[in-house]
Structure 1
Amino acid sequence: MTAPQPRPNVAAIPAYVAGKPPRPREGLTVHKLSSNENPYPPLPGVIEAAMAAAQQMNRYPDMGNAELYDALSARLGVPTSDLALATGSVALVYQLMHAFCHPGDEVVYAWRSFEAYPIAVAAAAATSVRVPVLPDGRHDLDAMAAAVTDRTRVVLVCTPNNPTGPAVTQAELDRFLAQVPPHVLVVVDEAYVEFVRSEDPIDGVATYRRHPHVLVTRTFSKAYGLAGFRVGYAVGPEPIAAALRAVSLPFGVSIVAQAAAVASLAAEAELLERVEALVGERSRLVAGLHDVGWDVPEPQGNFVWFELGERTLDFAAAADELGIVVRPFAGEGARVSIGEPEANDRVVELARQFPR
């Protein structure tokens, strides 16, 4: 008699590699620039709201998360029926694979892009169709449209693209949607939407209203600084949002996470100030990199991408010596988050020291 065996596709699931924390260094302040976290503390009122909610930890959360659904509905101007919550926007990607993909169905996405995509696809026993990004790190939307077949169920558009940085414009997305059959679900993953400063930014909410096969995913982990609480949301036509809610983990968004998210939405003025400060640091960092001879893809998130090929791990080691931890993708490049000014200064110093 053999032992219980998982489905064959489970063995093919690649491991998710989280950003490493920095190792303590004697006499040196270290900085974690490996996970695209917000370096600022929680927004005003968030800690108080979370602590108050924690007094109810002996009770289950409201399974319907009514308070957060209502707050998002009011903020976005959409009905609650067009919303779905989960433990981070990455959980929504997993849920939509299980809701829409049969084993063997194809999922098209750019590569390199968010490393959770192939994991979620493999977990659902679906098939990944990876379309290489352009040399400047942008999505090759024409090639992605051409990759759609009668087996395609989902297309993922990560904008800004993690880890390369560029964002898709509204004009580009509109052209792409005109080429994708209406039975294919197009997911616009906007985890970094608050940081976009392009001349033609995507309006995700307006786009889903015009297209019944578009779903927008967002998160509280990045700009809102709630990475430790795991709250993400999707906006899409009611039948799609309802399917995501149907396969969601019961009580997934905790009492404390919901309270923190609601309080964060109420602190919009402070949020915008912090986002602008990070965008300003991003511009300063990019200018510094240009000054020392580096050309990076246009960053529209809270990170920059270094195309390094086989030198990637050497770059990460050199960063560690300077007290900063980056996220290397062996053989390809390194993603470096925007951090505190001192940390960003060290990134410029790293770029100055490391052979171009």
Structure 2
Amino acid sequence: MTQQPVRLRPEIAALPAYRQGRQAPGDAFKLSSNENPFDPLPGVVEAVQRQTAYNRYPDASAIAVRAVLAARFGLTVDEVHVASGSVAILHELAKAAAGPGDEVVYAWRSFEAYPGLVTVAGAESVQVPNRLDGGHDLPAMAAAVTERTRMVIVCSPNNPTGPIVTGAEFAAFMESVPTDLLVVLDEAYAEFVTDPDAVRGAGLLERYPNLVVLRTFSKAYGLAGLRIGYALGPASVLDAARSTAIPLSVTAQAQAAALVSLEREPELLERVDRIAALRDRVRDALLDQGWRVPVAQGNFVWLPAGERTAAAAEAFERAGIMVRAFAPEGIRVSIGESEAVDTLLRTAQHVVGSLTE
């Protein structure tokens, strides 16, 4: 009997898996995953180690974390959802809002997980090119909305290019799209933003009942390995996301780490300020070298290397700097250990010279 291949959805079989940033061999610097270079905040490791009941399920609702976040943002606990990273919530929202025949609109290039989560939901992606400065073209995104559109994703600051969406731009966008259209504001890097004109989603929830705001503990809080993020928004929308979620996906260890990290936020913000200041210094130096680096408001910078992206990434890796290449557009470089800066800038000077040639 001839063995037939297992029948799968063809669009899923053809979908490339999410590609993680390359690990750093030996003494190389891993600047490919936008990780926080600092160790966990004081008390986090101890809180995680106290969660030793591995034979017991965690609190599936993460109610303690939700209660702290609800108090912080002036919301009810039902208006806060916690999951295993903000990208998990995006998956849940896509499945809750969109299906076959529906569309999801987002900027491109943006977070590389967006196309996959739309395909998994069974919907179609509508990718709207970024402006030349790497920022979202919100008027074009609004114009791309049709009767088939069920969700729009706005990423501020945009990963991997770096620019923010301003509050004024976002307000104009929200006024131009249908009030029953789910708009997701992905603020994974919000803590690093220093531009006072940037949109701040939490304060807009009462004004826009179709808005959900995503945040994460992976970046600024340095809990990427524990996988925990959260959403703020209407209870009815978040209930739908909870209905599509994989149960018990947020571990007790992650919840304990998040609670301690929230308590130690002044120390956290001091670290964030140091990363943001280093980011600005690195961008200024890259501009002096001749790179056309967009305004950077996350914990990374974007190097538009174009068709030379793959070769440029190889040059960085030979120098011991692991970067994230998005061929044929450019390279994202995380702001990591301060010790990496000299090597990063020295290599960038060599690479930009080869691009000019």
1:346 alignment partner in structure 2? 343
Report SS of the residue matched to 1:209.
Answer: coil
1:308 alignment partner in structure 2? 305
- Read off the aligned partner of 1:77 and give its amino acid letter: G
Query: Is the contact made by 2:216 and 2:228 (CA closer than 8 Å) also made in structure 1?
Result: yes
How far apart are residue 207 of structure 1 and its match? 1.2
1:31 alignment partner in structure 2? 29
How far apart are residue 340 of structure 1 and its match? 1.2
Query: Is the contact made by 2:60 and 2:248 (CA closer than 8 Å) also made in structure 1?
Result: yes
Query: Is the contact made by 2:192 and 2:276 (CA closer than 8 Å) also made in structure 1?
Result: yes
Structure 2 alignment gaps of length 5 or more: none
- For this pair of structures, how many residues does the alignment match? 351
- C-alpha deviations, 1:291-331, integer Å up to 9, x for none? 22222000000000011111001111110121110000111
Give distance in 1, aligned partners of 2:344 and 2:5: 50
Matched, 1:112 2:143: no
Report SS of the residue matched to 1:210.
Answer: coil
Query: Is the contact made by 2:61 and 2:82 (CA closer than 8 Å) also made in structure 1?
Result: no
Give distance in 2, aligned partners of 1:295 and 1:12: 35
1:22 alignment partner in structure 2? 24
Give distance in 2, aligned partners of 1:244 and 1:314: 41
1:98 alignment partner in structure 2? 95
> Of the candidates 232, 241, 244, which is equivalent to residue 235 of structure 1?
232
- C-alpha deviations, 1:34-57, integer Å up to 9, x for none? 00000000011100100001x111
- C-alpha deviations, 1:336-355, integer Å up to 9, x for none? 00011121222211121112
Give distance in 1, aligned partners of 2:224 and 2:90: 17
Matched, 1:326 2:328: no
- Read off the aligned partner of 1:335 and give its amino acid letter: R
2:252 alignment partner in structure 1? 255
Query: Is the contact made by 1:292 and 1:352 (CA closer than 8 Å) also made in structure 2?
Result: yes
Give distance in 1, aligned partners of 2:145 and 2:257: 40
Give distance in 2, aligned partners of 1:100 and 1:267: 36
How far apart are residue 3 of structure 1 and its match? 4.6
TM-score normalised by length of structure 2: 0.96
Give distance in 2, aligned partners of 1:197 and 1:126: 35
How far apart are residue 290 of structure 1 and its match? 2.0
> Of the candidates 5, 9, 12, which is equivalent to residue 10 of structure 1?
12
- C-alpha deviations, 1:21-73, integer Å up to 9, x for none? 1222xxxx3100000000000011100100001x1111110112111111111
How far apart are residue 75 of structure 1 and its match? 1.9
Matched, 1:190 2:191: no
Structure 1 alignment gaps of length 5 or more: none
How far apart are residue 4 of structure 1 and its match? 3.5
Give distance in 1, aligned partners of 2:5 and 2:31: 43
2:43 alignment partner in structure 1? 45
- Read off the aligned partner of 1:134 and give its amino acid letter: R
Matched, 1:122 2:124: no
1:69 alignment partner in structure 2? 66
Matched, 1:137 2:139: no
- Read off the aligned partner of 2:223 and give its amino acid letter: L
Give distance in 1, aligned partners of 2:68 and 2:15: 36
Report SS of the residue matched to 1:270.
Answer: helix
Matched, 1:270 2:272: no
How far apart are residue 201 of structure 1 and its match? 2.0
How far apart are residue 262 of structure 1 and its match? 0.7
Give distance in 1, aligned partners of 2:206 and 2:341: 39
| Aligned-residue RMSD, C-alpha | 1.1
Query: Is the contact made by 2:292 and 2:304 (CA closer than 8 Å) also made in structure 1?
Result: no
Query: Is the contact made by 1:39 and 1:340 (CA closer than 8 Å) also made in structure 2?
Result: yes
Matched, 1:286 2:303: no
- Read off the aligned partner of 1:297 and give its amino acid letter: P
How do 1:142-221 and structure 2 match up within 5 A? 142-221=139-218
Query: Is the contact made by 2:107 and 2:130 (CA closer than 8 Å) also made in structure 1?
Result: yes
